[in-house]
Structure 1
Amino acid sequence: MLKKVKLGIIGLGYIGQIHFKHSLALPNAEVIAVADISAKALSKARKTGIKHIYTDYESLLQRPDIDAVVIGLPTHLHLQCAEKAAEAHKHIFLEKPIARNVPEARKILTAARKYNVKLMVGYPLRFNDDFKQARKEIQAGFLGDVESAHATYISSGPFFHRAEGYSPVPVPEWWFDESLTGGGVLIDLGSHIINLLRWYFGEVTNIKGYFGHRFNLSFEDSAICIVKFNSGTTAIMNVGWYSQSYTLTLNLLGTVRSATIEHKPGSPILTAIQLLSTGNSKFYKPHMQELQHFLSCIIKDIPPSPSGEDGLKDLEVIEKAYKNQIVLQ
């Protein structure tokens, strides 16, 4: 049995840097190599002691000493990279959304099955302690029957610079090309909420969505969806890219009692203390836990969750919402 999983990190952008940092800290992971097209990102990785640095991920995939890869590339590159990783017999942790559309997602699943590699899609909300506790309470009947759920996830999205240390950096241009992303805020933030609610309430039987275009772009920057689940629960999902104030809340309204969960960044001072003392912050703890789960599944040879099938089902729901648009005059 493996004691450590030897990793290759593909993509060192915003989310890739988070996974890279966590991979270095986890005791059952050993980062063998990284790949990115950014000389600056590769230079930073080299300073951590990583010896094998690549500007193309195909060279990384050829290494026989790598067991698994963490893919944090732009969405339009997921299919090609995941297929090549599976062909190279590497287990795959793939950032959400799994792909731009359902056909691409199905091809990724086909490749993973063909080459018998594990495929996990990154949904950190499932590893947040408060959201996990809410699921336990739902399953135990503590809330009674959950008649309705109201989920809100609002951020600045691609309309505000991302943080890199203490210096803001521009958001990559691909964020503004719908052909590369597969959609707007619904496929970005909405995929998190859909995956979480499916985990709570089962499969979606119907969904309708209203889409806003505050910034007059071809893709939606806000979406309000009504979602029906086979458990009988109805959810209202509100996601948007229009505020510099981060908001992520979930209200569960049951026949016995209700519950409210809020996920928010800590204060800058508290976050700085956490980073200095532990090398991590509470806000990003779920990202570390999801990666730990992926590694454990490889070591124990068990299926990871959320799976590639979960990623596919989330995209199927999103595509249905795009088709079932509500028009308000």
Structure 2
Amino acid sequence: MKFGIISTANIARKALIPAMKRSDKAEVVAIASGSGQAQAVADEHGIPKAYDRYEDVLADPDIDAVYIPLPNHLHKEWVMKAAEAGKHILCEKPAGLNAREMEEMEAVCREHDVVFMEAFMYQFHKQHERVKELMAAGEIGDVTLVRASFSFPLREPAGNIRVDRHKGGGSIYDVGSYCLHTFQNILDDGVDEVFVEADMSDEFGVDMSAQGIVTMKSGVRGMFDSGFNTEMRHEYEVVGTHGTIKVSRAYRPDAFGHEGHVIVEKAGITRDERIMSDQYKEEVDHFVEAIEQGVEPRNSYDMSKQNMAAIDACYESVKTGRKVKV
């Protein structure tokens, strides 16, 4: 599958382009940048074509699919343009700024018969399938609570796109979205109601951290926290009536050589499981396979729409100080 990359964002340079090079299912043939960096990045990664306009990637007949790691507020525009150009789309999370945008993107992608997938890469690490296996086997009894945390230190926020309120900045959009997605993914359930409080920056007008209580449709509770003001934390814990399962490297196991870490605690006994999996490569492979097979990818339209609706509800709760139905 021949890919074009729309933007020279860090996530593309450091994670997705290398992952595509590790995959035998993908080939990066072009990259575009509006800042004039495309040729330098193309030279660095051995990419044959460099463009100074995103439109040129979409017009290239050699390209089958595009990866879009643009700022959040540009996702909808370029997803729709890519779909109209007949390119399959792997788009960074969050899919858009709200659920309505996701619905509009879905309609255009379906109209032009292209595959779309929101790039929540973490879900493709095999440690999460192991968690689901343990839950299904009754290892910890009935699940009553899931706690998820994703935060990191943003030491020099000024000028960082993550705190630009005009471009979809804020900790819930950036890292809290992973926690909300985890509740859906691990529990195979939708979010029904949220109550969220946040530390809103007077300077930037975005949430620098947030803490939320989530009620799933099944009645299981979720608790999450996200933020730009702590050391790196990327973990979740599934709490059951007879034990717990903790995933201590939930979202960035690539920082540990791709090694996942699942900890089962039951009846005073702790068991550690180490699981190797290249989540970015697995993501690329799955996306290509979905295109080849003509099926909807694992991270479906419904999951993306539900996650965006949950994010919408979180921000509405922060604004109103009340519980909000999704």
For Structure 1 versus Structure 2, the TM-score category normalised by the shorter chain is 0.7 to 0.9
Q: Is the 8 A contact 1:207 1:226 kept in 2?
A: yes
Measured after TM superposition, the shift of residue 100 of structure 1 is: 1.3
Instruction: Please list the CA deviations of residues 168-224 of structure 1 after superposition, one character each: whole Å capped at 9, or x if unmatched.
Output: xxx86433321211x410111111111111112201111110111367531111111
Change (3 A) 1:324 1:257: same
Q: Is the 8 A contact 1:9 1:33 kept in 2?
A: yes
Q: Which residue of 1 aligns with 2:217?
A: 230
Q: Which of residues 158, 161, 172 is equivalent to 1:186?
A: 172
Q: Are residues 1:148 and 2:134 paired?
A: no
Q: Which of residues 294, 305, 312 is equivalent to 2:298?
A: 305
C-alpha distance in 2 between matches for 1:283 and 1:153: 21
SS where residue 282 of structure 2 aligns?
Answer: helix
Instruction: Please list the CA deviations of residues 97-117 of structure 1 after superposition, one character each: whole Å capped at 9, or x if unmatched.
Output: 001122222211111111011
Q: Which residue of 1 aligns with 2:69?
A: 72
The code of the aligned residue for 2:249 comes to H
Measured after TM superposition, the shift of residue 152 of structure 1 is: 1.4
Structure 1 length normalisation: TM-score? 0.84
Q: Are residues 1:323 and 2:316 paired?
A: yes
Q: Which of residues 2, 10, 13 is equivalent to 1:14?
A: 10
Instruction: Please list the CA deviations of residues 113-140 of structure 1 after superposition, one character each: whole Å capped at 9, or x if unmatched.
Output: 1101111001122112322211222233
SS where residue 121 of structure 1 aligns?
Answer: strand
C-alpha distance in 2 between matches for 1:47 and 1:222: 36
The code of the aligned residue for 1:224 comes to Q
SS where residue 218 of structure 1 aligns?
Answer: coil
Over the matched positions of the two proteins, sequence identity in percent amounts to 26
Q: Is the 8 A contact 2:191 2:306 kept in 1?
A: no
C-alpha distance in 2 between matches for 1:81 and 1:36: 13
Unmatched tracts of structure 1, length 5 or more: 162-170, 272-281
Q: Is the 8 A contact 1:75 1:180 kept in 2?
A: yes
SS where residue 38 of structure 1 aligns?
Answer: coil
C-alpha distance in 2 between matches for 1:267 and 1:149: 23
Q: Which of residues 174, 194, 200 is equivalent to 2:186?
A: 200
Q: Which of residues 244, 255, 275 is equivalent to 2:241?
A: 255
Change (3 A) 1:114 1:38: same
Q: Which aligned segments of 4 or more residues in structure 1 are displaced greater than 4 angstroms?
A: 264-268
Q: Which residue of 1 aligns with 2:35?
A: 38
C-alpha distance in 1 between matches for 2:239 and 2:44: 50
Count residues with an aligned counterpart: 301
The code of the aligned residue for 2:306 comes to K
SS where residue 147 of structure 2 aligns?
Answer: strand
The code of the aligned residue for 1:125 comes to Y
The code of the aligned residue for 2:96 comes to A
C-alpha distance in 1 between matches for 2:167 and 2:88: 24
